[in-house]
A and B are shown apart, each in its own frame.
Chain A
Amino acid sequence: MAIFVDENTKVVVQGLTGSQGRFHGLRNRAYGTKVVAGVTPHKGGQDVEGIPVFDTMDDAVAQTGATASFVSVPPSAAPEAILAAAAAGVKFIVCITEGIPAHDELIVYNTLKSNWPECRLIGPNCPGIISPGRCNIGITSGDIALAGGPAGIVSRSGTLTYQALNELSTKGIGQTTCVGIGGDPIPGTSFIDCLAAFEADTETKAVLLIGEIGGNEEEKAAQYIAEVMTKPVVAYIAGVTAPPGKKMGHAGAIVSGTAGTAQAKMASLSSAGVKVATNPSQAGDIMAEIVSAF
C-alpha cells in the first residue's frame, strides 16, 4: 500500500501546455503515472505528446475519469485552478506553484474545507508526492526514489525532500510514499494528516519527518506523535544556524524570538520520543538502524 496515490490514480495536469507543466507532466508519465489529460483554457482539442488537452477541468474529468490534479500554473491563476479542480470532483490536488499570496491561500484552504471537505490539497509551493514504482505527481525526480517501503517521508521543504529520498535510497531503504507538503504559511495538508495516513498504512513501518524553522507545525506534529503514533519517527529540522529574525525565503520560515526555532522544534520532537538528527545524512543512518531491526 501507499498513502494518497497509487497505480490507479489518474492525473490531469492543469497547465500542461506551459513549459513547466509540459516538462514535469511528461516526466511523471514517463515514470509510469497515469497522466490522462491536460487543461489549459482556450487550448482544448490540442494534445501534448498524445495527452489530450481540455478547456476546463469539468470536461477533462468527464472525458477521462481523472481522479487527481497536478496544478502547474502561475501564482495569479493557481487559486482559481485549484478550486476548479475541486468543483470538477477531483479528490486529490497537488499544487507546486510558488508565490501565491497568503490571503489567496487562506481563501482556497477555507473554501475547500467548507465546500469540498473530502478533497485533499498538497501544497502549494511543494515538490509533490511520489509513491515509488506506482505514481509520481509533481517535480520530484523519480530516479532518486526506491520502491517497496518500509519508510514513509513527509517534508515541509522542497529540495530537502529530494535529499531525504536520496539518503534513504542510497542506503537501500525503500519508501512507501513521500509527501512534500510545502513551506508556505497555509499548507493544504499538514504533517499530522500525513502522519495519520502513514500510521494507518500497513506497509509503512517508520516515518521520516523533515521540518524547518518557523511556525509551529513541527510542535503540533510532536504532540500528535506522542499521543497517537505507534510507528517510529525520525526527524530532521533545517535552520539550526539561521540568524533570528531573518526571512529565509519561505513566508513560513520566519523565526521570531524563541518560538519556531530549530532548537525548540527539535526539543519538542525529542520529548515526544522522536529520534532527531542534526543533518539529513544522520537521519538516513538512524532510519537504517531502525529498519534493520524489522
Chain B
Amino acid sequence: MDLFEYQGKQYFKRYGIPVSDGGIAATVEEAVDQAAIVGYPVVLKAQVRVGGRGKAGGVKLASNQDEVVRNASSILGMDIKGHKVHRLWIEHATDIKKEYYASVTLNRSEKCNMIMLSAKGGIDIEQVAHDDQNAVIKLNVNPLEGLSLDQARQTAEEAMLDAQAIEQTALFLCSLYRCYTEGDCDLVEVNPLVLTTDDKVHALDAKVTLDDSAAFRHEEWAEFDQDEDSDPREIAARQKGLNYVGLAGNVGIIANGAGLAMSTLDVVSQAGGEPANFLDIGGGANADTMAAALEVINSDPNVKVIFVNIFGGITRCDEVAKGIVEALSRVRLNSPIVLRLDGTNAQIGRDILEDHLSENFITVPTMLGAADKVVELTKEAM
C-alpha cells in the first residue's frame, strides 16, 4: 500500500524522523485555516500517490491568504497523471540551502536491504542517477546486522554531503532504516531531504510503501486505507478480499494464482480478445471466494463473456464448482461463462457441475481452446 505524503510524514514521526508540522485541507476554507495555524509563508502540496506532482503544478508557495485561496483553488480537483487531487497538505515553508535524496528499499538481487543517498536530490533525481552513476551512493545492508551509525556516516561522507549535514544525515539514515524495517515498508524515500539555511537536516517529502503482507502485525495501518483514487470495481473486489485489477476490455477473467491469471490475459489477447480485468482468487479459494468473484465480474457492464480458468493445487476444484453453483443460485449472470477446470479434485468438480451446464455455461478442456471459445462468444455478443 502506497501512503500519501501526509500519511508518510505521520509514519516518519513515529520513528523520530524530522518532518515539518502541518495540516490537511480538503477545501479552500480549510486551507486558509491550516495556513493561519502553521504560519506564513506556507507551501501547499497536492496529495496524490504518484510522482511528478511538482512539475505538474501541484506544489505552490503562498505568502498570504489571497495566495492560499488562489493556489488551493487551482490545485484541489486537479488531475495529476490520472490521480485526482482531493486533499492538500499545508506546512510552513522551509528555507532550503541544499536538496539531497535518501531512500531504503529491498535489493532483491543481493537479498539484502539497500540505502541510496545523493547530494543531488530534487525533482530531477532520476535524470541525475541516469547521467552520473556516482551521483547516487548505494549501500547494501545485511538485514541480520542492521545499519550502524558508522556505516551511515561513511555513506554520507561518500555522497559528498555538506560537512554540517554529515552527522545529522547519519542519524537520519539510522531512523529511516528503523522505520523501513520495524515499520514493515517495501520502500521509504525522501526527496528532497533538505539542509535548511539554519543547517538542520529535514525530510521535506515522504514516499512510503507498506508491505501488505505485514498488515497482520500493524493495526495502526487501518487508518491509511483510502479508496478514493481506485477504480470502483477494484474497491468492490478488495472488500471481498479478491486481487483485482480493472482493464479496458470486455472479457471478464477469473483465475487462481497470479501467474495463471496473467497467462490467461496473455492467451485471451493472443486469441484476439480484450480482457476486462485481472482477477486472482488466490490459493486455497473456497466456494464463497468463487461466488464473490463472479459477482464482481458480473457487476462490470463492459463484460460480455466470463472466462473462468482454474488449475487446482491448494485450490480444490470441487470448492470452485460449488462456488459457481452457489453464484448461479445467488445472482443472475449477465454473461455466458466459459470454464476450464483442471488439477486437484477436478473430476469431483466436473461431476458437481454436470447438471448445471447449458449454452450459457460451457466447459472447455484446454486453456487455448477455452480462450478461442471466449473470443468467439464475445464476437457473437457484440
Of the candidate stretches A42-50, A193-201, A246-254, the one touching chain B is A246-254
Instruction: Say whether B266 contacts A212, CB under 8 Å.
Output: no
Q: Are B111 and A186 in contact (CB under 8 A)?
A: yes
Across the two chains, which residue of chain A brings its CB closest to B181?
A103
Q: Which of A199-253 contact B (CB under 8 A)?
A: 210, 212-213, 215-216, 220, 236, 238-243, 246-253
A185 in the interface (beta carbon within 8 A): yes
Q: Choose from B142, B243, B257 the contact partner of A158 (Cβ within 8 Å).
A: B257
Complex formed: what's the CA distance from A102 to B104 in Å? 14
Which A residue's beta carbon lies closest to that of B283?
A98
B260 touches A160 (CB 8 A): yes
Instruction: Say yes or no for A176: interface residue by CB 8 A criterion.
Output: no
Query: For A102, what are the chain B residues with a Cβ–Cβ distance below 8 Å?
Result: 106, 184, 186, 211, 213-214
Residues A248 and B261 in contact, CB atoms below 8 Å apart: yes
CA distance A247 to B258 in the complex (A): 10
Given A106-B112, A166-B311, A243-B245, CB of A158 within 8 Å of CB of B283: yes
Q: Counting CB contacts under 8 A, is A173 at the interface?
A: no
Asked if B148 is an interface residue, CB under 8 A from chain A, the answer is no
What's the least CB distance linking A28 to chain B, in Å? 12
With CB as the reference atom, state the residue of chain A lying closest to B113. Answer: A106
From A54-62, A80-88, A138-146, A267-275, the one touching the partner chain is A138-146
Q: For the complex, is A172 an interface residue (Cβ under 8 Å from B)?
A: no
The interface residues of chain A lying within 8 Å CB-to-CB of B217 are 76, 101
Is residue A63 contacting chain B, with contact meaning CB distance below 8 A?
A: no
> Does the CB pair B260–A281 fall under 8 Å?
no
Q: Which residues 1-52 of A sit at the B interface, judged by CB distance below 8 A?
A: 20, 24, 27
Q: Does B56 make an interface contact (CB < 8 A)?
A: no
Contact with B along A250-279 (1 / 0, CB 8 A): 111100000000000000000000000011
Q: Is the CB of B259 within 8 A of A156?
A: yes
Instruction: Write the nearest CB–CB distance from B136 to chain A, whole angstroms.
Output: 16
Residues of A within 8 Å of B111, CB to CB, are 106, 109-110, 113, 186
On whether the beta carbons of A159 and B265 are closer than 8 Å, the reply is no
A252 CA to B270 CA in the complex, in Å?
24
Return the contact of A157 from the options B109, B143, B258, B344 (Cβ within 8 A): B258
Neighbour of A253 across the interface among B258, B283, B314, CB < 8 A? B258
A-contacting 9-mer, from B86-94, B160-168, B274-282, B351-359: B274-282
Tell whether A114 is near chain B: CB-to-CB under 8 Å.
Answer: yes
B368 part of interface (Cβ distance < 8 Å): yes
Q: Collect the chain A residues with CB atoms within 8 Å of residue B260's CB.
A: 157-160, 163, 238
Q: Say yes or no: is A291 at the interface (Cβ < 8 Å to chain B).
A: no
Can you name the residue of chain B whose Cβ is closest to the Cβ of A108?
A: B143
CB contact between A220 and one of B109, B342, B346, B368 (< 8 Å): that residue: B109
Asked whether A251 lies within 8 Å of B366 as measured between CB atoms, the reply is: no
- DSSP majority for the B interface? mixed
- B residues less than 8 Å from A242 (CB atoms): 262, 265, 278
With A102-B211, A238-B259, A241-B269 known as contacts, the answer to whether A76 contacts B216 (CB < 8 A) is yes
Residues of A contacting B257 with CB < 8 Å?
157-160
Interface status of A174 (Cβ within 8 A of chain B): no
Is the C-beta of A117 less than 8 angstroms from some C-beta in chain B? no
Tell whether, in the assembled complex, residue A238 and residue B367 are in contact, meaning their CB atoms are under 8 Å apart: no
Residue A280, interface by CB 8 Å:
yes
Q: Is the CB of B367 within 8 A of A250?
A: no
B116 at the A/B interface (Cβ < 8 Å)? no
Min CB distance B169 to A, Å, is: 23
- Set B112, B113, B214, B255: member contacting A159, Cβ < 8 A: B255
With beta carbons under 8 angstroms apart, the residue of A27, A212, A215, A251 that contacts B262 is A212
Assembled-state Cα–Cα distance A223/B119 (Å): 34
Interface 1/0 per residue, B285-319 and A, CB below 8 Å: 00000000000000000000000000111100000
Across the two chains, which residue of chain B brings its CB closest to A260? Answer: B108
CB–CB A101/B313 < 8 A: no
Contact A248 B186 (CB under 8 A): no
**Do the beta carbons of B343 and A248 come within 8 Å of each other?**
no
Contact present for A107 and B214 (CB under 8 Å): no
B256 to chain A, nearest CB (A): 6
Residues of A within 8 A of B214 (CB): 101-103
Q: Which of B108, B144, B260 has the most CB of A within 10 A?
A: B108
Residues of chain A with a CB closer than 8 A to B282's CB: 98, 249
Q: Using A127-B313, A185-B106 as known contacts, say yes or no to A240 and B186 having CB atoms under 8 A apart.
A: no
B263 at the A interface (CB under 8 A): yes
Question: Do B112 and A110 touch (CB < 8 A)?
Answer: yes
Q: Which residues of B contact A162 (CB under 8 A)?
A: 311-313, 342-343
Asked if A278 contacts B313 (CB within 8 A), the reply is: no
Residues of B100-145 at the interface with A, using a CB-CB cut-off of 8 Å, are 106, 108-109, 111-113, 142-144
Q: Is B284 among interface residues, defined by CB-CB distance under 8 A?
A: yes
Q: A185 is contacted by which of B108, B144, B280 (Cβ under 8 Å)?
A: B108
Q: Can you list 8 contacts pairing A with B, beta carbon distance less than 8 Å?
A: A75-B216, A110-B112, A141-B312, A141-B313, A141-B343, A157-B263, A158-B257, A162-B313
Contacts beyond the supplied A101-B213, A139-B283, A249-B282: 7 A-B pairs with Cβ under 8 Å: A100-B213, A110-B143, A139-B314, A158-B258, A248-B245, A278-B266, A279-B270
Interface set of B (CB-CB < 8 Å, partner A): 106, 108-109, 111-113, 142-144, 181, 184, 186, 211-214, 216-217, 243, 245, 247, 255-263, 265-267, 269-270, 275, 278, 280, 282-284, 311-314, 342-344, 346, 366-368
- Which 6 pairs, one residue from A and one from B, show the smallest C-beta to C-beta distance? A157-B259, A159-B257, A249-B258, A159-B260, A101-B214, A160-B259
